[in-house]
Amino acid sequence: MSLTGKIVFWSALCAVLMGTFYEAATSSLLAWRQPVYIVAGFAGIAAMVFLLCQPLLIKGYVPDLPNAQARKIHRWFGGGLVVAIVLHVAGLWVTSPPDVVDALLFRSPTPFSVWGVLAMWAVFAAACVAVLRRRIGPRLWRVLHMILVTIVVGGSVVHAMRIEGSMGMTSKVILCGLVLGALIKTLVDFRGWRVMPRRRP
């Protein structure tokens, strides 16, 4: 990648991330919220940021970052994604346990909750598959991981877009669009979808 390309990449990424958190931090909807609720909300935003960074890391799209180091950061970010989701749900539990219980039992009257819960369980499943990678086998692991990641991204984007919260609409649309675009680019470039080669008769 040329120097100009690197500058454009890092400038765009920093602008999106800083703009997203700034717009959320200055939202008028935070005025009467409890601190734990605000932390939970920002944990959800951080989870979306992790979802954007993950495909950039695993497919080597980050300039001047060796593949081995990128994969290592990808694993750390995967753990960060799990932690962010746990903080997001735990914070909402502290502020309103009945709402969280209804969401987890898929009986919440708010449709966005269903998508969030689906994405959450898909994240946990993807993490378990990653831990069991050597036992599952590389090709099957890649397929399972990509399927789960697709569910995570799809559920998270719908969940975020349908919530009227502190996350600004402009930054939300941009961030969700980039997350979807990064996933689609990764799926297009993905070459390990075959579980096993066909046997000749």
**Given this model, what pLDDT does residue 188 score?**
83
Q: Pseudo-torsion of CA 113, 104, 51, 44, nearest 10°?
A: 70
Query: For residue 191, what pLDDT is reported?
Result: 57
Q: Closest Cα to residue 175, out of 150, 149, 156?
A: 156
Residue in 127, 121, 114, 126 with CA at minimum distance from that of residue 159: 114
Report pTM: 0.86
- The H or E element spanning position 194 is none
pLDDT score for 73: 93
Whole-number pLDDT of residue 141: 84
**What average pLDDT values come out for the chain (201 residues) when binned by 10 residues?**
82 90 85 86 93 89 87 92 94 87 83 89 92 83 90 94 82 92 85 43 41
Q: What is the DSSP string of 84-133?
A: HHHHHHHHHHHH-HHHHHHHHTT--SSHHHHHHHHHHHHHHHHHHHHHTH
- Which one, of 36, 38, 132, 119, lies nearest residue 82 by Cα? 119
* 85 phi, psi to nearest 5 deg: -70, -40
Of 128, 99, 124, 104, nearest to 114 by C-alpha is 104
Dihedral angle of Cα 94, 171, 79, 184, to the nearest 10 degrees: 130
pLDDT at position 193 is 45
* Cα gap 55→48, rounded to integer Å: 12
Q: How far apart are CA 183 and CA 146, in angstroms?
A: 9
pLDDT of residue 26: 87
